[in-house]
Chains A and B, each alone.
Chain A
Amino acid sequence: MSRFPLNRIINTQTVALAGVLLLNWILFPGFFKIEWQDGRLFGSLIDVLNRGAPVAILAGGMTGVIATKGVDLSVGAVMAVAGAVAATMVDAGHSTAAAVAGALAAGLLCGIWNGVLVALLDIQPIIATLVLMVAGRGIAQLITEGSIVTFSDPALIYIGTGSFLGLPMPVVIAFLLMLLATLAVRRTAIGLFIEAVGVNRSAATLAGIRSRLLLIVVYSLCGLCAAIAGIIVAAYIHGADANNAGLWLELDAILAAVIGGTSLLGGRFSIPMAVVGALIIQAMNTGILVSGYPPEFNLVVKAGIITLILMIQSPFATMVLAWFGRGEKRSLRCTAACARSWQQSPSSSSPMRRPSCSFRRCFPRVSWAIS
């Protein structure tokens, strides 16, 4: 893993994030200033992380779903449900732990519902999750009985506004979740299975992968992530707003996952890059806010920058870049694989040493991009 650390860190997403941050800095020179006050850090950068955390958490779950060639439109509504459950439970006198557990269970249940519709009933994901997108807010309103339920439970509020080691709690939670999720998919076979199901579900089933179970698990985890984000948002405003909590955030989450390099056609995915995608979106929001431009520009500028990022990632741009870099850049991974097979079996019968590829004349990435 540590063979090409630079190669792993520098990519379109991180460069785009750096670019957006740099732009913010140009427009607002104090952007990178971070202060230490009352035992925690303050500053625009911390703000980006803090405000971006809910979408980052959503994006983590959403990436898994999109990698299976699905999509979950219900995450915003599930956030509202989870917030409503947590708020009404603490107000009813339950302990904070019970309230959080209840909210998480509600999110998990919503996820299982989505998963069952998609995996067992074979309903198209966009329709299956649309059901809960619409119904979810209704359920949340029923739970809160139509009003905004406020609460003053300090432990619950701490989740949204407290800090740990100087960092806001939402940032800490999002970071830990990202770490946990990445390890969970990459240190087990789940990541490979998700990609396999996303690329070709029928072949995955025939190869002995329990696709249905996998889909249910993936949608459940997405629901769980939404619930966590919902609790954070509710805790942040000290109340559950069934109508507005998480409104349109499903779209930000999808966008973050796509900026993170996950194709809506399923297959390859990266949770850390989706989180970077979420931060790009939030950095733009914050940047426009602090730079003093009138808020009317907000959405248009955001759309423009996102279009630019997506253009850079498009197959067309890959082709153009490949054309400029042809003949020079060898694919490092490819070279490594060839070198390995060379070491293992230098005999000329090795499949790696056919005319198309010898150790030195390795198949470059260029031709993959063209085809």
Chain B
Amino acid sequence: MNAARVWVTNPRHDNARPAGIPAGFVAGPRRRGKHGGSELTQTAFRMEARGVSKVFGNNTALDAVDFGLLPGEVHALLGENGAGKSTLIKILTGAYQPDGGSIHVDGVEVEFDSPLDAQSYGIGTVYQEVNLLPNRSVAENLFLGHQPTRFGLVDRRRMDREARVLLTRYGLDIDPSSELGMHSVAVQQIVAIARAVQLSGKVLILDEPTASLDRDEVQRLFEVVSGLKQQGLAIVFITHFLDQVFALDARVTVLRNGKLVETSELGEMTRTDLVRRMLGKDIAFSGSTSLEAERAFDEVLMSFTDYGRKRSVQPFTLDVHKGEVIGVAGLLGSGRTEMARIMFGVDPADSGSVTLRGKAVSIKAATDAIGYGIGFCPEDRKADGIFGDLSVRENIVIALQGKLGWFRALNRDEQLELAGQFGEAMDIRAASLDMPVKLLSGGNQQKVILARWMATDPDFLILDEPTRGIDVGAHAEIVRTINRLRNDGMALLVISSEIDEVVAYSSRVVVMRDREMVAELRGQEINPGIIVQAIAAHEEAST
């Protein structure tokens, strides 16, 4: 099978572990990628995937993709959800075995049986959710599995000392014996990186490391990444934020529908160029559109007066009009999610009153809120949103069925009808309505939850971070959906950390700070500068 491969160059091939890849998979003409074959023969890749394919059933997740990783580079892997990024990563880290093609480390063909196996070749991975033990100390987390020992017992003092040395190298001045869970996510993320680099040391794969970090923390992480880059580590960086790709000056590989689109230097490329490659089409990028002049407010739908809950959110007063989008801006922990939960009745309010179309109502539970035509897409999709093991169909009909009650069951045909109708309206991409929803990508899961609420025909929809952790394409679709629903006369309250996004679709912006509503911005006031000022006012005053 190697005869077919004209560009096998490395003489150390005899060291290679037996490659058990069936010969049939490699044969046949192969696309060489647009960056040309000559580059491949000359560059010494630290790690390389040659024509790897992965097939799930009849679904080709990855189709003859070439991916080369140079020492001392940050290589961004871009693509929409479902483009094959995670499949490629899982192959590189040994979680999946490729159905075709080969993996080379330092030019030697290898075959990973497991992630542990990949680690022994120097491939380390840090996942989006930190995979460490929050209730153990930082040092223990760094050395877990290979603690320094003395007389057969863990030498705690030496472990702490070594951990401190290691941490200073990453610019972290924290007590190694402190519990990991006490520290911010960014620190935990850096500890995870330190551990991965220490264990492997050639290649570092960062899978959406910035998803749960704020701006300063991202900056800090980038410093660490740049430092590692200078040390000659090859770093794969997966992110949904294009700004970060530019900030890191990464080389980029773009995947689309399981195929390699392009690998290239950033060079002259702009954001739009990247997005075009990822989507294969032009999109009006969210954030660049601004709302037309101040909209005339329609009639008041709901009005919250001094509405609040002890130890949750200070009382706030807010009118919700038909056909408007209220954007909620604020830092994490500013009380924005709590506000949504009180409005929806999950945590009932203990002060104030609420009226619906002028009539006083009482919202003490989610079922009350749904009865009054309110819907709520929670922030944590996995924990509070989707029913992973249930089918897409059941996930879509569940809220409507909840509204109908226990005894007016929708039968299977009605469920299929509804799920098909709202699934199509939301453009959910699923192989089947009967497949478990956990197999869908994040963006599609978010659309399933939106479809779930659409099915209940709500008047007022609360969306808590609807675009978090989903790819650019799905992001734009959800922003479009928000605008469409607003134009259809629905009232929406959208919580988001992305200020550009809030500016793009809001007709009013509410700013939360320290569990209190501190500003309500309209018309010309809705611009990123003023919002940031309102969010930050307190911090400036205190420093």
Residues of A within 8 A of B (CB): 187-190, 192-193, 195-196, 199-200, 202-210, 267-268, 326, 331, 333-334, 337-338, 340-341, 344-345, 349-352, 354-357, 361-364, 366-368, 370-371
Question: How many B residues are at the interface, by size bracket?
Answer: 35 or more
A363 and B59 in contact (CB under 8 A), knowing A189-B404, A190-B406? yes
A349 to B425, CA, bound (A): 10
Task: Flag B410-435 by CB within 8 Å of A: 1 or 0 each.
Answer: 10000010001001100111111111
Residues on the A chain within 8 Å of B311, using CB: none
* B387 (CB) vs chain A CBs: closest residue: A199
Residues of chain B from 369 to 383 with CB closer than 8 A to chain A in the complex: 370, 376, 378, 383
Nearest-CB distance from B299 to chain A (Å)?
26
Nearest-CB distance from B251 to chain A (Å)?
28
* A363 (CB) vs chain B CBs: closest residue: B431
B175 interface hit (Cβ, 8 Å): no
The answer to whether B389 touches A268, judged by C-beta atoms less than 8 angstroms apart, is yes
The answer to whether B398 touches A196, judged by C-beta atoms less than 8 angstroms apart, is yes
The answer to whether B423 touches A351, judged by C-beta atoms less than 8 angstroms apart, is yes
Nearest-CB distance from A366 to chain B (Å)?
5
Nearest-CB distance from B462 to chain A (Å)?
11
With A195-B389, A337-B432, A351-B429 known, 5 other A-B pairs at CB within 8 A are A199-B388, A334-B434, A337-B416, A351-B427, A356-B431
Q: CB < 8 Å: which of A207, A368, A370 contacts B402?
A: A207
A363 and B433 in contact (CB under 8 A), knowing A196-B390, A210-B367? no
Chosen A-B contacts, 24 in total, with CB atoms closer than 8 Å, are A188-B406, A190-B406, A192-B398, A192-B401, A193-B402, A195-B387, A195-B389, A199-B390, A202-B383, A205-B346, A208-B367, A268-B389, A333-B432, A334-B431, A341-B420, A349-B424, A351-B427, A352-B433, A354-B429, A363-B57, A363-B58, A363-B59, A370-B56, A371-B56
The answer to whether B401 touches A189, judged by C-beta atoms less than 8 angstroms apart, is yes
A177 to B282, CA, bound (A): 61
* B429 (CB) vs chain A CBs: closest residue: A354
Residues on the A chain within 8 Å of B267, using CB: none
A219 to B169, CA, bound (A): 56
Interface centre among A193, A195, A333, A363 (most CB of B within 10 A): A363
A267 and B406 in contact (CB under 8 A), knowing A337-B416, A370-B56? no
The answer to whether B399 touches A192, judged by C-beta atoms less than 8 angstroms apart, is no
The answer to whether A208 touches B390, judged by C-beta atoms less than 8 angstroms apart, is no
A220 to B187, CA, bound (A): 48
Residues on the A chain within 8 Å of B378, using CB: 203, 206
Interface centre among A345, A349, A354, A356 (most CB of B within 10 A): A356
B244 interface hit (Cβ, 8 Å): no
The answer to whether A345 touches B394, judged by C-beta atoms less than 8 angstroms apart, is no
The answer to whether A367 touches B406, judged by C-beta atoms less than 8 angstroms apart, is no
Residues on the A chain within 8 Å of B403, using CB: 208
* A371 (CB) vs chain B CBs: closest residue: B439
A338 to B436, CA, bound (A): 15
* A365 (CB) vs chain B CBs: closest residue: B57
7 shortest A-B CB distances, which residue pairs? A363-B431, A208-B402, A367-B56, A367-B57, A357-B431, A208-B370, A364-B57
Residues on the B chain within 8 Å of A207, using CB: 366, 398-399, 402, 452
B148 interface hit (Cβ, 8 Å): no
The answer to whether A189 touches B376, judged by C-beta atoms less than 8 angstroms apart, is no
The answer to whether B436 touches A368, judged by C-beta atoms less than 8 angstroms apart, is yes
B151 interface hit (Cβ, 8 Å): no
Residues on the A chain within 8 Å of B366, using CB: 205-208
B103 interface hit (Cβ, 8 Å): no
Nearest-CB distance from B199 to chain A (Å)?
26
Nearest-CB distance from A315 to chain B (Å)?
13
The answer to whether B57 touches A366, judged by C-beta atoms less than 8 angstroms apart, is yes
